[in-house]
Structure 1
Amino acid sequence: MTGFTENALVKKLTELNPSQQSIQTLSLWLIHHRKHHSVIVKVWMRELVKAKEQQKLTFMYLANDVIQNSKKKGPEFGDEYRSTLTRAFEHLGSAASTDDKTKQGLLKILKVWEDRGVYEHKLIKEWRNFIALSSKAVENGAGPAPKKAKTESKPMEVKEKERRHSETVVEVDGKTESHIILSPAHNPPGDPPEPEELVKALLDLERSASSDAAVREKIANLPPEVSRVDLLSKLRDKDEAQQLIQRVGEALSLLNDYNARLAAEMEDRKKLKSMLHDFLHAQKELLLQAEERHVEYIEKLAKVQQVKEELKSHLQNLPEMNAETTGSLAPLPSAGDLFRMN
């Protein structure tokens, strides 16, 4: 990772995307450079206001990750963000700039902070009020009414499972850092899946029921008497009937199992379709951002090229320092002459 500069921070915030990897990577970098916490939070707030509407929630996921993961190293980020988050929620709570998906994400972050005691209840209530006021503004005609979140009481063991987190170890500027992957950093519904997750889902489909040629061949080779009622009249004795019952039972078990696998495959394909849709949408947004940066740097390159041409022209107009010219000038003093003590 690179050293800390304000320009480097702005660049990283501009390139931030909703994926867990992107949020985690930048969070680790910020925590590693926590001695600059004051500048980091100030720039974060400034870039949050300037960010596109669909990026603002990602900025909040980043802040959540930094606040919670930095606690074991010191209180700097938690204290610094405390005085800034009121302005952030006030900005995000404006009806004109916050859609329903963002509101639900913000409420989720506040719920996590409340459950984990990250900030005191009074502050969280104040921040939650900004979101509530935004919803009231929407109901009064500022925009489409947000959907009401379902409030369901969950058993304690379910809540405890939701509070659990996993830990990963990453190298930052040559040092090993342990990083807790927190729940709001995981992709909420509708956000793009990680590439690894998408690849795994595609590979799993290669082993799906419809690709199982061996089972399909077994089903195709089932004897006709297990599926044709008209052949029952050809049974000659009780032994043949018992044998047929056994074959029918085996065929039934085979078909039930295969149909269950096909039903599961259909659900997996529906999920994969949704994942691909979200992934492609995210890639289109990232492509658009890359194109915008490309245009920006092409313009910068053109300006640098213009300065280069003007500098070249200016150099050509400067007088030549030939031998005759230099011979008429007094010789430069030596180092000894410059520092000789009188």
Structure 2
Amino acid sequence: MSGFSDAALEKKLAELNNSQQSIQTLSLWLIHHRKHHASIVKIWLKEFTKAKDSRKLTFIYLVNDVIQNSRKKGPEFRDQFGPILGPALKLMGQAVNDENTQKRLERILNIWGDRNMFDSKQISEFRKSLELCFKRRFDNGEPPVKMSRRDRGETLENVKENREQEDPDKNKKERRKSECNEVIQFDKEGKKEVHITLSPKLPANDAPEPEELIKALQTLENAASSDGIVRKKITELPSEVSDVSLLSKISDQTQAEALTCKVNEAVELLNDYNGRLLKEMEDRKSVTKMLHEFTAAQKELLIQAEERLQVWNMMIYVV
């Protein structure tokens, strides 16, 4: 999974569309990088404000998916999005003038309230932000516009996906849960539909980013055991600094002082090298742990991808 950066998130938000796959893919990426939750919410709000009115609902669907699928891992996104959703929904209410979008927003608020995603006070504030804007628009002589699917440019597939983004549990017939994902299969108008929501079971401590792992591995390239120059100096130390039997050959003070100088230099060299070796051992333990966490995360993501592929294959045959 690609590393996180402000530019990467801005690009992904610019490419976000109203399809279920697009929303869930970005949601999974955000949850994986949830340690950057503060930056994520800040950038989301900036891009939401800049987005065209027709795309703002997609941004809300993304928040809905992220909050619902990350709640078991921690409250970071809920706590970060909570304070800014009021102003965001107010802006949304000012821009929206069709009943369908209004109903979808109200439905999302109902889901958040029913599932205790936010407390009742926050839900009330969110609802008030929307209702005030809708009421102000209608009082100004701007009645809600009833837009046809053709006018909105929506396909039947997009309509179905919008409903699933609002509440993936509605009209379910069979549900299979696991630690990694949630698959819902239900009948609708005589046709079977399958909806999958990925929720990877990541370690308590996030797996390292690829860049972090590469940097750690590069650091080991300059570790003590790889320092050929120092190792050569150690092998070339004169025998008299370590062979006690040679002390008997010292005949005067000058020779003793010269040997003392050599011994002190050797001790300093060896102490420094031993210290570097100890640090290298700790670094290797840390890198080993990072490799284990990174590998485990990648294996889990592979399982998620394979399961998603199976579901898509099922959908192809069902349709």
Normalised by the length of structure 1, the TM-score is 0.46
Question: Quick check: which has more Rg, 1 or 2?
Answer: 1
